[in-house]
Amino acid sequence: MKKFLKSLVEKNRGISELGNVANYIPGLEKSNKHALGLCIIKTNGTIYSIGDYDVKFTIQSVSKPITLMLAILDHGEEHVFSKVGMEPTGDAFNSIQKLETCKSHKPFNPMINAGAIATSALIKGADNQERFDRLLNFFRKISENETLEINNDVYLGEKRTGNKNRAMAYFMKGEGYIDGEAEDALEVYFKQCSIEVTAKDLTKIGLFLARGGVMSNGERVVSERIAKIAKTLMITCGMYDGSGEFALRVGIPSKSGVGGGIMSVVPGKMGIGVFSPALDEKGNPIAGEALLEDLSDELSLSIF
């Protein structure tokens, strides 16, 4: 199996040539365009780690379903979905368009930037420090990695340059979809995007969801229902305006990030983590998507 997985990684590594690493957030441009890593952990504990599986990168949008789970734990499903919807947009992940043009002005879903900022605003805590600490501890717990930390340079870089996200946060605040202050929501959001992980960390979180919200020691951290919400939004919106095509090509609930990560969940079977920093025009890891398509075909992993 390891040999077979290695051959899939090597086959797809060249596809990175067709993409580009993100450079709109200072620091991300330093990634090696040709890196490709894969980690798989089955629910029986078998682990496969190939290529650049232990290279650190910032989690970026892969953080969104994780924050969503803690927001629901903190406030319940009804309140969370009164602030953010659950429908795909068909627009880019950072689009402001539908916020302004749709009548309700409610962000469409928690996997795009607007909806994720509204979700970050829902993390409970006396102040921003406590809010982010609670969130970071939740990431550490479900990744079973107590050493997770933020990359401070990437955080400060995005805080300084993230004006489109800032515009959306203030707009949503004006429309009543941000609990608390817009700047506080942004601080939590920029920090969560800057958490450094490896493909292996993402695999652990995928495995947690594959087990329906249960850690490998058997501890239940979120309900089946909350895990189901995260997986459902991943398959419908997790690859932004590429989600429909990805559902057909791969058919595995997945969440991408512009740092190059993809976290995938084969329910009841395995967690999968990918690191592939060269992105396609929609901001999804280009070689990573091709690798997951091969994996899905070869191992019959599509849920459809």
The C-alpha angle with vertex 73 and arms to 201 and 196, in degrees rounded to 5, equals 25
- Known active-site residue 63: no
Please choose, from the candidates 251, 256, 264, 199, the residue with its C-alpha nearest in 3D space to the C-alpha of residue 51.
199
Chain-centre distance for alpha carbon 37 = 16
Smallest gap from residue 158 Cβ to ligand GLN (A): 6
Please choose, from the candidates 160, 206, 212, 149, the residue with its C-alpha nearest in 3D space to the C-alpha of residue 187.
160
Residue keyed to tokens 């995007």: 193
Q: Which one-letter amino acid corresponds to residue 280?
A: D
* Residue 164, H or E segment: helix 163-174
d(CA 131, CA 121): 9
Which of residues 168 and 214 has its CB atom nearest to ligand GLN in the complex?
A: 168
Q: Which one is catalytic: 250, 258, 265, 266?
A: 258
- Known active-site residue 256: no
d(CA 213, CA 118): 23
Which of residues 271 and 283 has its CB atom nearest to ligand GLN in the complex?
A: 283
Smallest gap from residue 108 Cβ to ligand GLN (A): 15
Per CB under 6 A, residues contacting ligand GLN are 60-61, 93-94, 113, 158, 165, 193, 257-258, 283
Query: Which residue's Cβ has the minimum distance to ligand GLN?
Result: 61
Give the pairing type, strands 47-51 and 57-58. unpaired
Smallest gap from residue 61 Cβ to ligand GLN (A): 3
- Known active-site residue 64: yes
Q: Which one is catalytic: 49, 61, 194, 276?
A: 61
Q: Which residues are registered as beta bridge partners of 47?
A: 41
Residue keyed to tokens 């002005």: 105
Which of residues 113 and 151 has its CB atom nearest to ligand GLN in the complex?
A: 113
Q: Which one is catalytic: 62, 64, 222, 255?
A: 64
Please choose, from the candidates 199, 207, 218, the residue with its C-alpha nearest in 3D space to the C-alpha of residue 271.
207
d(CA 64, CA 128): 18
Which of residues 61 and 198 has its CB atom nearest to ligand GLN in the complex?
A: 61
- Known active-site residue 189: yes
- Known active-site residue 61: yes
Which of residues 57 and 138 has its CB atom nearest to ligand GLN in the complex?
A: 57
Smallest gap from residue 153 Cβ to ligand GLN (A): 14
Smallest gap from residue 77 Cβ to ligand GLN (A): 24
Q: Could you tell me if 39 and 200 are in contact, meaning their C-beta atoms sit under 8 angstroms apart?
A: yes
Question: Which residues belong to the active site?
Answer: 61, 64, 189, 240, 258
